Structure 1
Amino acid sequence: MKLQPTIYLSIILITTFLTQTTVLFGQNPIKISYERDENKGSYVFYCENSDVCSYIVEIRFDQLVNLRASRSLPFKGTVQRGRTKLFELNPVAQNQSTSLNYSYSYRKGCLRPKVDWDLLYLLPVAKGNKTKVSELSYLGERFGNEKKSKNWYALSFGMSVGDTVYAARKGIVVEVIDHFAQDGDNIIFARDRNYVQIEHEDCTYGQYELFRKNGIFVEKGDFINPGDPLGIIGGKNYQTGDQLRFSVFYADEYPIEKDGNAVLKKNYWTYVPLKFHVKGGTTRLLNGKEYESEHVEEIIIQEMSKKERKRWMKE
């Protein structure tokens, strides 16, 4: 599974005489800038997120001379789309020079997301269709030299040639890849796969994989409701035939060692064990069992605001 890596950027700034806003690396979705207040001698840091999804931003200072931050450092926080004020640096002693040296990194996700563990998902197949479910092992560990993510949990839904994939949960499309064509027969694992990734309201990400080349209907930035069509399934070259591979995960971290008094942390993805609405009730899907899809209004509108519900009812 292709996931957003952590991006590291660094800059050395000697800021004693700079007065203009400094913007870093304009080609990146995350830009860090600051504004200098000449009267106070302070620096106000901002983040500009030009992407449609959330990011975790971390700023570290290797050098900080005669400056004190308005919040604890290193800074780490979640930034949504648009411009966000992060913190201020104020001089400790007036009429003395200041300087700083910092670097920053960012990755997709939110700090400490409040995951809705009990939320119900729709089966991502057409209403009335039956699908056989399989729990997926992490083949990237075997074939792709990739380390298995913590609490790995992903499902495969058996489908037929030309079937449409439907959204299992409300969210915004944050990534679309649909230009890969699968070559060969009886494929077990392929690193390059067509997929749609959707960010949910609790900052988890739903990933739908194995679409047909150029078979995806949605675009980055589209708002999606449960039951909305996403694209045409692919995967006919795989051993198990046309199928959808689906998982939900969120950004997390864990301590790996101590550096003096500081605890170093490693980033990873935690996977969510899902509960689905199927014809006949709600359940955690069992490996090898067949289920019938039912797109009921109660599940479709469960995360909608009153305004969104009214709009959906009219449509």
Structure 2
Amino acid sequence: MKLVVGFLFLLLSINTNAQKKAVEVVKIYKENIVYIHLKNNTDVNYSAELNIHSGYNYEKDKETPLLTVLAPKEQKLLVTVTRSTKKKSDFSTSFTYVVGNINAKHNDNYVYDLPYAKGSSFSVNQGYDGSFSHKGQNFLDFTMPINTPIHAIRDGIVIKVKKDSKKGCPTISCVDDGNYIWIEHDDGTIAEYVHLRYRGTALKLGNRVKKGQKIAFSGNTGFSQAPHLHMGVFINQVNGERITIPIKFNVDNTEAIELKKGDNYIKP
């Protein structure tokens, strides 16, 4: 009987941890005052928007919604609500969040490495504002065979990884099936490397990587018409949108340039 109870307790603990959100609201009550915090439960940066709405007979010390960036494991007080002591009082909260720093400022002087091994050469088959799937966005697609080693274009920390998919197809129905790595740089911008092969990386959340380090192997997962690497740098937004950034690469150790569709680039 003790073994059964212990096993059930273990299962309950596992399920509770699995359901824990990356960001959560924490309310601390002191008499008629409610101190409302947001807490980051992860080891990477998150950004969030908190709103207080509906309800009655209360006052808040700040107007909402409130945007904030939460460092790893940070709990931050965002707003204080004072409830009426003479009338029934109630209110509700809601919030949204995304991984990364919404206040990131790109260092436009930074020169990026090409995302493959030194001496290797690959062509760009879709550039910035590409008509197929990059319209209005600054992303790049490199044509490359499955199992091509992928290298980091800049130092950073791994903030998001997917590597369990074996599925890929040439229609939008497969868009969520692509394996990928997201790496946050020192200026808060994020690089994504997409369409990686099944189990194509050993990296985990919180791992630090160096510029030029081998991080993964290319594949053909997700929304993909043929094997390639999709990549780019962006700033995440809490509304689900991205600010994509046209970055420049070192292609000959003398000049940083923006890559163009149809051109082939050897990594120096």
**Interval of TM-score (by shorter of Structure 1 and Structure 2):** 0.7 to 0.9
Indicate whether 1:37 and 2:30 are aligned.
Answer: yes
Shift of 1:91: 3.7
Pairs within 5 Å for 1:68-83 = 68-69=60-61, 71-83=62-74
Q: Which residue of 1 aligns with 2:137?
A: 152
Q: Which residue of 2 aligns with 1:135?
A: 126
Which of 196, 213, 219 is 1:228 aligned to? 213
Which of 202, 207, 218 is 1:217 aligned to? 202
The C-alpha deviation readout for 1:115-142, integer Å capped at 9, x for no partner, is: 22332211010012122123253656xx
Task: Provide the aligned C-alpha RMSD in A.
Answer: 3.0
CA distance in 2, matches of 1:26, 1:232: 30
CA distance in 1, matches of 2:92, 2:213: 44
Q: Which residue of 2 aligns with 1:110?
A: 101
Shift of 1:66: 3.6
Q: Which residue of 1 aligns with 2:6?
A: none
Contact 2:47 2:67 in 1 (8 A): no
Which of 275, 293, 298 is 2:248 aligned to? 275
Q: What stretches of structure 1 move > 6 A for 4+ residues in a row?
A: none
Q: Which residue of 2 aligns with 1:290?
A: 264
For structure 2, which runs of at least 5 residues remain unmatched after alignment?
1-17
Q: Which residue of 1 aligns with 2:111?
A: 120
CA distance in 1, matches of 2:199, 2:114: 23
Contact 2:83 2:90 in 1 (8 A): no
Q: Which residue of 2 aligns with 1:196?
A: 181
Indicate whether 1:101 and 2:75 are aligned.
Answer: no
Shift of 1:218: 0.9
Q: 1:132 to 1:188 in 2, by over 3 A?
A: farther
Q: Which residue of 2 aligns with 1:5?
A: none
Identity of aligned residues (%): 21
The C-alpha deviation readout for 1:28-64, integer Å capped at 9, x for no partner, is: 21110111223xx422111111132322222222225
What is the aligned residue count?
Answer: 243
Q: 1:75 to 1:167 in 2, by over 3 A?
A: same
Shift of 1:157: 1.8
Q: 1:111 to 1:232 in 2, by over 3 A?
A: closer
CA distance in 2, matches of 1:197, 1:30: 18
Q: 1:245 to 1:46 in 2, by over 3 A?
A: same
Paired amino acid for 1:278:
V
Q: 1:283 to 1:99 in 2, by over 3 A?
A: same
For structure 1, which runs of at least 5 residues remain unmatched after alignment?
1-24, 141-147, 254-265, 295-315
Shift of 1:275: 0.7
Q: Which residue of 1 aligns with 2:59?
A: 67
Which of 26, 39, 45 is 1:53 aligned to? 45
- Partner SS state of residue 108, structure 2: coil
Paired amino acid for 2:183:
I
Contact 1:57 1:79 in 2 (8 A): no
The C-alpha deviation readout for 1:77-120, integer Å capped at 9, x for no partner, is: 22222132223425487x53563322322231434432223322
Paired amino acid for 1:74:
P
Paired amino acid for 2:241:
Y
Paired amino acid for 1:282:
A
Q: Which residue of 2 aligns with 1:27?
A: 20
CA distance in 2, matches of 1:205, 1:287: 22
Shift of 1:166: 0.6
CA distance in 1, matches of 2:154, 2:195: 18
CA distance in 2, matches of 1:183, 1:46: 41
CA distance in 2, matches of 1:26, 1:98: 33
Contact 1:66 1:96 in 2 (8 A): no
Q: 1:112 to 1:83 in 2, by over 3 A?
A: closer
TM-score normalized with structure 2 length: 0.78
Paired amino acid for 1:133:
V
